[in-house]
Structure 1
Amino acid sequence: MLKSKTFVKKTRSGGVLKIVREHYLRDDIWCGSEVCVECGDGAPVLLRDPRIESDLCTYPHYLLPDTNVVLHQIDILEDPLIRNVIILQTVLQEVRHRSAPVYKRIKDAIHDKEKHFYTFTNEHHRETFIEREQGESANDRNDRAIRVAAKWYTDHLSKAPNVGELKVVLLTNDRANKEKAEQSGLLAYRCEEYIKSLIGNPELVDRLALASDDQVRSALLFPEHLPLSRIQVGIKSGTFLQGTFRASRDNYLEATVFIHGDGEDSTEVLLQGLQNLNRAVHQDLVAIELFPKERWVAPSSVVLQDDRPNDEDAEEEDAEKKSTVSDTSVLKPTGRVVGIIKRNWRPFCGMLNQSQIKEATRHLFTPADRRIPRIRIETRQASTLVGQRIIVAIDGWPRNSRYPNGHFVRNLGGAGDKDTETEVLLLEHDVPHQPFSQAVLSFLPKMPWGITEEDLKVRTDLRHLCVCSVDPPGCTDIDDALHCRDLENGNLEVGVHIADVSHFIRPGNALDQEAANRGTTVYLCGKRIDMVPELLSSNLCSLRSNVERLAFSCIWEMNHNAEILNTRFCKSIINSKASLTYAEAQMRIDDAGMNDDITTSLRGLNKLAKILKAQRIEKGALTLSSPEVRFHMDSETHDPIDLQTKELKETNSMVEEFMLLANISVAQKIYDEFSESVKSRIGFVHKHFWWFWSYFISLSLYHYSFQGPTLTVEDQHTFHIFDKVKVTISLDASNIQHQKIRMALVEPVVHDSVRNTFI
């Protein structure tokens, strides 16, 4: 069945565009339940007997949440206890439009086979699709669509044989929607009353998102946020400005918003006082109003932390603000937040401050990031959570509340515990560290793995060379190795060999996507977060000694003054003769009694590295010092007993110089090979080149208050070192102030400045 929808849309240029959309309806979309015999296609997702202990719903039942429940109670839905849930297409589309992070989380839950979440495409089912009625809002139409789908499920499942007491329960926090559902004969409950009815799971109640507490406290502490429509008009007229809110680490009553104007007319606006901050949270995209010059102030010179034990009024905070000291000789543009364009909330790590009132259920949570305000949560586990690192999510910030409202998500462990503090670091810095999924692991090579005859045909055999690696002690992911030998003509042959990961990871598969998401391997004290699974990082792609490995090699012919006479690149097979630490390599170089092939190679490399470094510094290279500090721990108590700064040896610099030289040679090779392509404006992507452009654009757009660009490749199937691809740069569409800025499909062009960048 085909339905069409026609409407007229005004374009940005002022023209009128007629749009016709076709909507196809089907009657063969299956319900996904094991009890149904009428829908015969596909594997069932919803179990036949979905039991969950509840004193409200004592019968087996499927849950069908509305949009607001998914948006605000996603932490509840992610709990392992909540299973057999029907997610309607209407709900999924609304969630996608309103919150990308929640949309991703609900999609992850749907893909988790243990959760038994089923997506029902009600918008394409003949019996559940509804038209929007005249005068009906989009929200009311969607609520009606949810009720219609719930009614269809109830009637549809009742026809199944041996259905027993199986029912469908609609979860909604909308009073009107609940009343209309009950009038239609549906089972409908508020999310809170359903969760509180679950027997033996009181901890789930703490994860409920808090509702507004207008009835608890009536005094309004903050100005009202303007609606987005008024903000848009104000920004276009110049009355308001927009930028990213950046809270101060040192003074919780102070923040700045960077506004980029035309040319070099950029302004950093200072915000002071709770009412002027107006419930903005660090990294929110805000609209501000600039004060006249006579109201401009200087930044405070006092460190002020929000450590009050009680929830106190804004008037007291303003009195405390007046007691701070400012340098009146340096006035800055000052303003106030008038509205929030886009929230940037995330789950926050921190600790609970237990209320001084005995038996209280409301407590304040202090985030680990000092730029985030304290959050009020409700929990009955306060005595258990004191002294623990926990995660809390913000639900909202009403005008009558000194602090935002939130809810408890999960307990990480005791404060001060090394594993717990490591988890906090990873979460706060958004480092992906979850175990690799089965979808990712399925693309790993089967063991035992070995080099094939086909590999020998297409690769250069360098197994006879005296190759060795030099790395920190305990390193298992050895990704580079070196060699140096004398040639018959009196010159030197020097090689850098990099593990060929591209042999095992094909473009676009789940393993490639996960590695791209992680971006790099993260090293912590006693822990490593791998970019790729351990089978690759510490085994097949690790250039360990005395095993054959696949590599990508850059080989130079040099004279004894480190002048490059010839360069060649090849995919190779190597067999490292030694895996050395920096100290072991240095001892070999310094020991005059050692003259074996490995030691001779190291001495040649070290001599050339010193010359290369001197040449770089002479050309104006920038040297950044970043000393590594290590704690020595007691073997029994695990307490720190000594602090030591890592000593850098010549071998550290030796490896560094040849890695830099390899990058320079690769950049030169790319430029030479693609010089004709550059003239015809055909771009290319290489890992380092792509990173450079992304980083450069990110820095540039920082001044425009953009959230940062997204770079995507037009053809994901072509992504090798010399593949030609087109790149799209996408900007955050929420930037209302700069609507006229557009960056469409571009083709990166390499010129001389890029060559210098690699060098």
Structure 2
Amino acid sequence: MLKSKVLMVKTRSGKILKIVREHYLRDDIDNGLVGGKLDDHPPLQNDLVSLEHFLVVDTNVVLHQMDILEQPCIRNVIILQTVLHEVKHRSSPVYKRIKSLIENEDRNFFVFTNEHCIDTWSERAKGESSNDLNDRLIRIAAKYYNGCLKDRNQVAVLLTNDKANCSLAKKDGLNALTVEQYVKNIVGYPELLDKLAKVDESIEVDKSISYPEHLKLSQIQTGVKSGKFYQAKLNISRENYLEGKILCQDEEGKEILIQGRLNLNRAVHEDIVAVELLPKDQWSNPSGVVLDVTVQPGAEIKDEENSKQTVGVPTGKVVGIIKRNWRPYCGILESFGSPEMTRHLFTPAEKRIPRIRIETRQANTLIGQRIVVVIDSWPRFSKYPQGHFNEVLLLEHDVAHEPFSQGVLNCLPPTDWSIPNEELAVREDFRHLPICSVDPPGCTDIDDFGVHIADVSYFIRPGTPIDVEAATRGTTVYLCDNRIDMVPELLSSNLCSLRDDGDRLAFSCIWIMKPNAEIIKTRFCKSIIRSKASMTYAQAQMQIDDPTVNSPVAVGLRGLNTLAKILKKARIENGALSLASPEVRFHVDSETHDPIDLQNKELRDTNSMVEEFMLLANCSVAKHIQQEFPECAVLRRHPEPPQSNFDTFINAAKTRGLELNVESSLDLAKSLDKIEQHREGVHSYISTLLRILATRCMMQAVYFCSGLESDFKHYGLAASIYTHFTSPIRRYSDIMVHRLLAASIGADKTFSELLNKTEVQKVCKNLNFRHRMAQYAQRASVALHTQLFFRNKVVKESGYIIFVRKNAIQVLIPKYGLEGTVFL
């Protein structure tokens, strides 16, 4: 059936425009009850529902209670087209999560296209809002399912936290429950209660505190347009959880300081906020005091701390929240009173996040454990944001860690896969060359150094479930005792690992070079290789250093090492930075997973050799794909830091009588090298310490689409153009680059999403987020294992003061890569 609706619209010029909208209705729409899409006999039992039942959820349940819907026991859920469209419009992250559940065949989440079913569609009533229409369509669909299920002695249960919708549904004779009512009465799963997101009605009011009310979005937009308000991302200080700043996106790049609970006004680190400047007589300066939520949870910045300052910096207050950037947070549930109490305070590991109040009935089990909590809301009259317990994890940073779905596993070749004859015919055969691989000990996802990179894009085709999953995960995450793969192990540790146990498919970058490392010619090709040796850095170094070893592999390594030193010298002379980080490596017990020993990462010539050829390959590929696809090349840039980023760094050097020039990366590199070379009167570790501090002045490197940016430079590498090509097994960016490169040399076809710069930029945005979260998770893992290592130990070790504050000193212990605050 075709329904038409005629709208008469008046244009700006005054003309009347007739718009006809057509809506198709059918009587044969699949409702999922036949054919295995929903169970014949739903297994979940509930004390409030006497019959076998299916769940129909409204939009707000999907938006706010995904942690419940994602629990394995929740199955046979009907997602209406009306709900799915609204969720897609309101929250892209939630939409991705619900789509993932829908695509998981084991979970039986079924999408019913209710707006095209003749039995569930209704026209909008006169004066009815779009929200009321959507609620009515959801009730109509629930009633339709009840009719379908009547002969099977089953029912549909509508889950909604909207009081009006629930009341109207009950008047229609429907089984309508709030999520809390339903979850409380599920048989056999009491722990689900802890995963309920807080709704406003259940939040306790704290009469002792009242934050300013946030302005409405329309008021914020008017204020931003007029210049009264500034909008930007809030960055809370690592040293003071009651102090933050925003960097305005105006021509001046103005920084605005925000100090104190009321001025922060419930904004959380990385929220997009609207800020109003305070009058000049209320401007302040950064306090210089370290405030740590774990040590001083009830502290406040005192006015007298800045009263002697004659000139303050621009200071403001948060008047509204434009976008919340809350994510799951890892931390510890600490004991404040009796463990039998249900309300507890959670302290995040991230010092820039406030304590979160949660309700849990598992406090006896959870106190002292590292758990993940999600913020739900932060009302005006609550000292703390409200949240709910998610799960016990070593990961907090939104890292996808679930097992790969069956749909992803179905994309894999058989375990006994071998290279087919048709591939042998179209690839260059390099199996006769003395190719070897060099990687860290314990590494199994070997990509090989230099020019031969595993051809992952052969196995991961665009648009397949494995491609979608890899794009979502974005990167492999390396923890001290675990590795969370971007792709299944059959690829990461076998077929795409360039080991010395057989033939492998590769993507090769080949240079013709002079002895002085000058490149005469560069070309790219798909190839077949057979590694002659799989070595660690130490093993490769021994082959280079031992003059009695003259195998083709050893001779080749020596030649590459010589070229690498020339390439590195040229990079450094061009302004590339050689910085440092206090990294340590843990040796973990294979059974208990406890750290039993740790050591600083040792760097050899072979580390540098591998790095140089990887950098060279990445630069060569970047230049090529940008020339071939100027509008949609996936590149990586490292923005130049603003000079203000170096202020603390320069002052730290001055305390030791050292001068630093930070005008350019070349000036900075020369300054650091000069200190390294003239260490008379300078402690031997100071030059390393300055390189560590320099890394903290840097901006984040990011992926981007070439057609949407004009600045391609990589500040740290002093490269005019750069990308990632050399690790496609652990970075999705490299897979995208492989596809562009393959299309450019005619080795593979292209596809529409690859050439759509808006879509490419969208993927790049997710990759930047995933890469950042992976870094945070890796650091958190090291911090946790450091704590475990020292759990029952007392040691004496040298430390270095890196910052002095009014009430504390910050100390670095290089041997353990440990940094901490000592309060005075």
- Report the TM-score when normalising by structure 2: 0.73
Matched, 1:241 2:241: no
Matched, 1:606 2:627: no
Matches of residues 283-302 of structure 1 in structure 2 within 5 Å? Answer: 283-302=270-289
**Post-superposition shift, 1:364?**
0.9
Match in the other structure for 1:25: 25
Match in the other structure for 2:80: 88
Match in the other structure for 1:303: 290
**1: distance between equivalents of 2:543 and 2:474?**
35
Identify the match of residue 404 of structure 1 among 378, 385, 394: 385
Question: Do the aligned residues in 1 keep the contact of 2:54 with 2:76 (CA within 8 Å)?
Answer: yes
Matched, 1:458 2:446: no
Match in the other structure for 1:188: 176
Question: Do the aligned residues in 2 keep the contact of 1:554 with 1:569 (CA within 8 Å)?
Answer: yes
Question: Do the aligned residues in 2 keep the contact of 1:298 with 1:329 (CA within 8 Å)?
Answer: no
Question: Do the aligned residues in 2 keep the contact of 1:507 with 1:719 (CA within 8 Å)?
Answer: no
SS at 2:270's partner residue? coil
Question: Do the aligned residues in 1 keep the contact of 2:480 with 2:588 (CA within 8 Å)?
Answer: no
**Post-superposition shift, 1:301?**
0.8
Match in the other structure for 2:195: 207
**2: distance between equivalents of 1:10 and 1:237?**
29
Deviations along 1:617-658, one digit per CA (max 9) or x if unpaired, are 344443334565334568998776665333322222223333
Matched, 1:4 2:15: no
SS at 1:721's partner residue? helix
CA 325–93 in structure 1, closer or farther in 2 if over 3 Å, else same: same
How many residue pairs were aligned?
669
Identify the match of residue 442 of structure 2 among 474, 480, 490: 474
Of stretches 394-403 and 6-15 in structure 1, the one that deviates more from structure 2 is 6-15
**2: distance between equivalents of 1:182 and 1:195?**
19
Question: Do the aligned residues in 1 keep the contact of 2:232 with 2:246 (CA within 8 Å)?
Answer: yes
Deviations along 1:663-706, one digit per CA (max 9) or x if unpaired, are 454456667xx5xx78xxx64636769976449978989xxxxx
**1: distance between equivalents of 2:215 and 2:423?**
65
**2: distance between equivalents of 1:621 and 1:14?**
61
Matches of residues 556-567 of structure 1 in structure 2 within 5 Å? Answer: 556-567=511-522
Match in the other structure for 2:138: 146
Matched, 1:364 2:364: no
Question: Do the aligned residues in 2 keep the contact of 1:459 with 1:570 (CA within 8 Å)?
Answer: yes
**2: distance between equivalents of 1:243 and 1:9?**
37
Unaligned runs of 5+ in 1: 35-42, 413-422, 483-495, 702-710, 733-759
**2: distance between equivalents of 1:151 and 1:173?**
18
CA 322–128 in structure 1, closer or farther in 2 if over 3 Å, else same: same
CA 309–57 in structure 1, closer or farther in 2 if over 3 Å, else same: farther
Match in the other structure for 1:742: none
CA 4–345 in structure 1, closer or farther in 2 if over 3 Å, else same: farther
SS at 1:179's partner residue? helix
Matches of residues 296-445 of structure 1 in structure 2 within 5 Å? Answer: 296-307=283-294, 321-322=302-303, 324=305, 328-329=309-310, 331-357=312-338, 359-412=340-393, 423-424=394-395, 427-428=396-397, 430-445=398-413
CA 547–350 in structure 1, closer or farther in 2 if over 3 Å, else same: same
Identify the match of residue 266 of structure 2 among 249, 272, 279: 279
Deviations along 1:67-123, one digit per CA (max 9) or x if unpaired, are 222222222222222222222222222222222222222222223333322222222
CA 12–698 in structure 1, closer or farther in 2 if over 3 Å, else same: farther
**Post-superposition shift, 1:722?**
4.3
Matched, 1:198 2:186: yes
CA 4–298 in structure 1, closer or farther in 2 if over 3 Å, else same: farther
**2: distance between equivalents of 1:635 and 1:72?**
39
SS at 2:187's partner residue? coil
- Report the TM-score when normalising by structure 1: 0.79
**Post-superposition shift, 1:46?**
2.8
SS at 1:46's partner residue? coil
Deviations along 1:586-638, one digit per CA (max 9) or x if unpaired, are 22232222333332222333333333333443444433345653345689987
Alignment-mate amino acid for residue 106 of structure 2: E
Matches of residues 104-183 of structure 1 in structure 2 within 5 Å? Answer: 104-158=96-150, 160=151, 163-164=152-153, 166-183=154-171
Alignment-mate amino acid for residue 549 of structure 1: R
**Post-superposition shift, 1:363?**
1.0
Alignment-mate amino acid for residue 479 of structure 1: D
Match in the other structure for 1:749: none
SS at 2:254's partner residue? strand
Match in the other structure for 2:578: 623
**Post-superposition shift, 1:573?**
2.5
**Post-superposition shift, 1:198?**
2.4
**2: distance between equivalents of 1:396 and 1:659?**
46
Question: Do the aligned residues in 2 keep the contact of 1:298 with 1:327 (CA within 8 Å)?
Answer: no
Alignment-mate amino acid for residue 444 of structure 1: L
CA 453–269 in structure 1, closer or farther in 2 if over 3 Å, else same: same
Alignment-mate amino acid for residue 685 of structure 1: A
Question: Do the aligned residues in 2 keep the contact of 1:299 with 1:326 (CA within 8 Å)?
Answer: no
Matches of residues 514-525 of structure 1 in structure 2 within 5 Å? Answer: 514-525=469-480
Relative contact order, CA 8 A, sep 6+: which one is greater? 2
**Post-superposition shift, 1:571?**
3.0
Alignment-mate amino acid for residue 365 of structure 1: F
CA 12–539 in structure 1, closer or farther in 2 if over 3 Å, else same: farther
Question: Do the aligned residues in 1 keep the contact of 2:587 with 2:598 (CA within 8 Å)?
Answer: yes
**Post-superposition shift, 1:408?**
1.7
**1: distance between equivalents of 2:52 and 2:589?**
56
**Post-superposition shift, 1:481?**
5.2
CA 288–62 in structure 1, closer or farther in 2 if over 3 Å, else same: same
Match in the other structure for 1:721: 742
Alignment-mate amino acid for residue 188 of structure 1: A
Question: Do the aligned residues in 1 keep the contact of 2:3 with 2:23 (CA within 8 Å)?
Answer: yes
Question: Do the aligned residues in 2 keep the contact of 1:466 with 1:576 (CA within 8 Å)?
Answer: yes
**Post-superposition shift, 1:303?**
0.9
Matches of residues 591-602 of structure 1 in structure 2 within 5 Å? Answer: 591-602=546-557
Matches of residues 31-110 of structure 1 in structure 2 within 5 Å? Answer: 31-34=31-34, 43-110=35-102
Identify the match of residue 226 of structure 1 among 215, 226, 229: 215
Match in the other structure for 1:577: 532
Match in the other structure for 2:609: 654
Question: Do the aligned residues in 2 keep the contact of 1:171 with 1:191 (CA within 8 Å)?
Answer: yes
CA 399–17 in structure 1, closer or farther in 2 if over 3 Å, else same: farther
Deviations along 1:310-368, one digit per CA (max 9) or x if unpaired, are 9x7xxxx65x5436557725512111111111112222222112331574221111112
CA 25–628 in structure 1, closer or farther in 2 if over 3 Å, else same: same
CA 667–94 in structure 1, closer or farther in 2 if over 3 Å, else same: closer
Question: Do the aligned residues in 2 keep the contact of 1:507 with 1:717 (CA within 8 Å)?
Answer: no
**1: distance between equivalents of 2:587 and 2:142?**
62
Question: Do the aligned residues in 2 keep the contact of 1:544 with 1:576 (CA within 8 Å)?
Answer: yes
Unaligned runs of 5+ in 2: 638-700, 713-731, 745-749, 763-824
Match in the other structure for 1:537: 492
Deviations along 1:392-431, one digit per CA (max 9) or x if unpaired, are 222211111111111222233xxxxxxxxxx32xx32x33
**1: distance between equivalents of 2:231 and 2:478?**
37
Of stretches 269-278 and 547-556 in structure 1, the one that deviates more from structure 2 is 547-556
**2: distance between equivalents of 1:201 and 1:635?**
32
SS at 1:480's partner residue? coil
Of stretches 345-354 and 12-21 in structure 1, the one that deviates more from structure 2 is 12-21
CA 382–11 in structure 1, closer or farther in 2 if over 3 Å, else same: farther
Match in the other structure for 2:633: 685
Deviations along 1:435-476, one digit per CA (max 9) or x if unpaired, are 332222222223423334433332233222222223222333
CA 578–339 in structure 1, closer or farther in 2 if over 3 Å, else same: same
Match in the other structure for 1:251: 240
